[in-house]
Chain A
Amino acid sequence: EAQVTQNPRYLITVTGKKLTVTCSQNMNHEYMSWYRQDPGLGLRQIYYSMNVEVTDKGDVPEGYKVSRKEKRNFPLILESPSPNQTSLYFCASSPRGQHYNSPLHFGNGTRLTVT
């Protein structure tokens, strides 16, 4: 089954403790991206990757890191999480980008709470 898999689904951590949220897709998509969803703010892009070893900042990249060493994986790293990073995170992928005839496929989300 074609899918985007995120882990973990739920995570509670404390301020400053480094964490990684994994994302993997099995559709051989070139493009991958991370979003956060917050009440009243919709979906905002954190980072994206056009292909292996190519990453770029989205709208809200501060406090996050990503890497794209393999086509299928795009982990999100929080080196020193803070409470304002408490949010619902989505990983997404698409064949070529986020534009014409290339809709995003989303994972089921990771609910992160930082205390």
Chain B
Amino acid sequence: DQQVKQNSPSLSVQEGRISILNCDYTNSMFDYFLWYKKYPAEGPTFLISISSIKDKNEDGRFTVFLNKSAKHLSLHIVPSQPGDSAVYFCAATAGTGANSKLTFGKGITLSVRP
């Protein structure tokens, strides 16, 4: 049972335009969400996160929006750059306990065309 769903496996965007990467979750206990970015032949790196007490978090060109009622979050990249081409993983966790588990989605491959 996939608790974190990234239903679109890939996205292609023109340089300078907005990239919107979507993520849905089913577990209502999730209260903290993260996005990781992965380049080929490298490990994932942390990009941005959001707590369930917020509906938006912004860091430079990257903004994550959270809609708790819809159990949906999205990552916006504005403007998109060719260096943003990578696989993006959405992840979620519940609670602050030491054993709280991080659940990842399958990932979305973003291609930014020059």
Contact = CB atoms under 8 A, between A and B. Distances in A.
B44 A98 contact: no
Interface residues of B, number: 26
Contacts of B106: 40-42
Contact of B89 (A43, A45, A105): A43
B43 A103 contact: no
B107 A98 contact: no
Contacts of A99: 32, 93, 95-97, 100, 102
A56 B104 CA distance: 18
Interface string B64-101: 00000000000000000000000001000101111111
Nearest to A35: B104
Given A98-B100, A106-B43, 18 more contacts: A40-B106, A42-B107, A43-B89, A56-B99, A90-B43, A92-B43, A97-B98, A97-B99, A98-B102, A99-B32, A99-B93, A99-B95, A99-B97, A103-B34, A103-B49, A108-B41, A108-B42, A108-B43
Interface of A: 4, 35, 40-45, 50, 56, 58, 90, 92, 96-100, 103-109
